[in-house]
Chain A
Amino acid sequence: MNAPAKIAAFDPLATRRDFEILSREVYGKPLVYLDSAASAQKPRQVLGAMHEFVTSEYANVHRGVHFLSAKATERYEAARETVRAFLNAAHADEIVFTKGGTEAINLVSYSFLAPRIQPGDEIVLSVMEHHSNIVPWHFLRERQGAVLRWVDMRDDGSLDVEALDAAIGPKTKLVAITHMSNVLGTVTPLKEIVARAHAKSVPVLADGCQGAVHLSVDVRDLDVDFYAITGHKLYGPTGIGALYAERAHLKAMRPFNGGGEMIREVSRDNVTYADPPARFEAGTPPIIESVGLAAAIDYLGALDRDAVAAHEHDLLTYAREAVRSLNWVRVIGDAPGKGAILSFETEGMHAHDVATILDREGVAVRAGHHCAQPLMERFGVASTTRASFALYNTRADVDALIAGLHKARKVLA
């Protein structure tokens, strides 16, 4: 195989040393982790920040008057500011911490859209959405008679903006669209989608759970109304995500969960609610995780993100070329400019069998429907094998994947 391309300003081998788990073995083979689109591994800087916080400044936030509570509140609000800067939002109070991307989208469904839906009103979404950007809208269909209008993909997995535009009609109340598909890797032209939707006065929610990991996101430039992210795919901890929403939207939204922290005043007969973002953060929030998420964003920020993107693109191209010569592998999704995700079918071999054999070679991939069943149906497959690449992967990982595929063919075909 060719020597890895020299990529300036980013050294994946040095980066790997920050991710301790990558040096372990599974079944006596070096771990080759190609499932970062499901959840990314965590660098020691993230774990270190959480450990340092818990051992020196931890307490509950926004409550106590004591020293530690003040410190913890400072860290929690600093994390909000870190997320604001990461997404280039105008104000920190436009960032609502959630337990993940799923909760962020459910929050928009319940608090923003539900009160605006009359029977027959429409929600426009693409067939490549993750179930977390489908099921919350199905709730509104079931409960309030909303109509889901699906925008099909082109055969190469790219999104037809004209088709999406045509689907937006007088009854459309929201466009819900991924920024980057977790199955195909397709990157959607979000800025243009928002412009088209806004031209018809329709707000846009973007599922940024993959997009925020691989793309530079500027919510003001995109002019997007809602942008959902999750921490654990971003090299941060599980249990935390965030919703960006414009101030005006948040102010008009009803509360989601009820509990401590989200109120202004509670009496026996009445309750008034806090201003955003606290209104949407009932209960003790993921405080430690917020520090971890901020550390993950700082970690990414210290790298040359263009160089990281170039590295991931190199891995994708290298893998795509390697499977091109295998006439028993069919890649699903070849959209121009796609992100570093390779989904494929293998002739005569089911994805689960392939993944089992790869696993015994130390190669971790995802097999199944990837929580995107409408997309699977669109491409006429029950499941695919998916290799997803992160900043810590190398060409040697791709080589191991290809060797594993040959092995699977030897065992199964």
Chain B
Amino acid sequence: MNDDLRELYQDVILDHSKHPRHFGALPDATHSGEGFNPLCGDRVKVYLSVDAAGRIADIAFEGKGCAISQASASLMTDMLMGRSLAEAEKLMGGFLHLVKGEDAADLKGDDRERLDVMAGVSAFPMRVKCATLAWHTMKSALEGGQTAATQ
């Protein structure tokens, strides 16, 4: 098989997309947002529960979309659980660098290792928006819950 494709649809990605973590609504969410990709019509909802100390105590998502967008959302919820808002923003910055094929030196150690499964997206410029949708939605949820659109 084509190496780019194997890299894109590696087992970890397919596993996340078929068995998404933290999937569903979060009844006691303090923040939520809806993301929409006008190119393909995919939608995602991200819920966050931020505690008094400014940490993400709980996070969930729901929606329908391609393997890349679902895996990315699932991986994101895994990564952000228990993080501070500042850490979340930093991770997002690093993630965006990674999937766009830019220098992602700001991602360190374990974070880098876990997000690296998404690096294959950078070989598919038309699919970068699929990978970033959940992250943009998470950010807009934290900033006031407006609808995020990847355009």
Binding site for B on A (CB under 8 A): 27, 348-353, 356-357, 360, 367-369, 373, 376, 382-383, 411-412
Contacts and interface: CB of A to CB of B under 8 A. Distances in A.
A382 B4 CA distance: 26
B137 to A, nearest CB: 16
9 contacts: A27-B2, A350-B67, A351-B40, A353-B68, A356-B127, A360-B2, A360-B5, A382-B40, A411-B5
A356 B8 contact: yes
Given A27-B2, A352-B68, A369-B40, 17 more contacts: A350-B65, A350-B67, A352-B42, A352-B127, A353-B66, A353-B68, A356-B5, A356-B124, A357-B5, A357-B9, A368-B41, A369-B41, A376-B41, A383-B42, A411-B1, A411-B5, A412-B9
For the complex of A and B, list the 9 residue pairs with the smallest distance between their C-beta atoms, beginning with the closest: A350-B66, A352-B66, A369-B41, A368-B40, A353-B67, A382-B41, A353-B66, A360-B2, A411-B9
Most buried by A among B2, B39, B68, B127: B2
Given A350-B65, A353-B9, A357-B5, A383 B14 contact: no
Nearest to B129: A352
A383 B124 CA distance: 19
A157 to B, nearest CB: 19
B130 interface: yes
B49 to A, nearest CB: 28
Contacts of B43: 382
Nearest to B127: A356
A350 B4 CA distance: 18
Nearest to A407: B1
B40 A383 contact: yes
Interface in B58-98: 64-68
Interface residues of B, number: 22
A277 to B, nearest CB: 34
A376 to B, nearest CB: 6
Q: Which of A349, A352, A357, A360 has the most CB of B within 10 A?
A: A352
A373 B43 CA distance: 13
A360 B8 CA distance: 12
Contacts of A369: 40-41
Interface of B: 1-2, 4-5, 8-9, 14, 18, 39-43, 64-68, 124, 126-127, 130
A357 B8 CA distance: 10
A352 B130 contact: yes
B150 to A, nearest CB: 13
B41 A373 contact: yes
B5 A382 contact: no
Nearest to A361: B2
Contacts of B1: 411
Nearest to A29: B2
A84 to B, nearest CB: 37
B124 to A, nearest CB: 6
Q: Which of B5, B8, B65, B68 has the most CB of A within 10 A?
A: B5
Contacts of B2: 27, 360
Nearest to A27: B2
Contact of B40 (A349, A367, A411): A367
B9 A360 contact: no
Contacts of A349: 67
A410 B138 CA distance: 32
A383 B43 CA distance: 11
Contacts of A352: 40, 42, 66, 68, 127, 130
Nearest to A373: B41
B8 to A, nearest CB: 7
B116 to A, nearest CB: 20
A188 B127 CA distance: 35
A376 B126 CA distance: 22
Contacts of B9: 353, 357, 411-412
Nearest to B2: A360
Nearest to A349: B67
A367 B5 CA distance: 17
A407 to B, nearest CB: 8
A411 B126 CA distance: 19
A413 to B, nearest CB: 9
Contacts of A382: 40-43, 64-65
Contacts of A367: 40
A306 to B, nearest CB: 37
Given A352-B66, A356-B127, A368 B4 contact: no
Contacts of A368: 39-41
Pick the most buried of A356, A376, A412: most chain B CB atoms within 10 A of its CB: A356
B67 A412 contact: yes
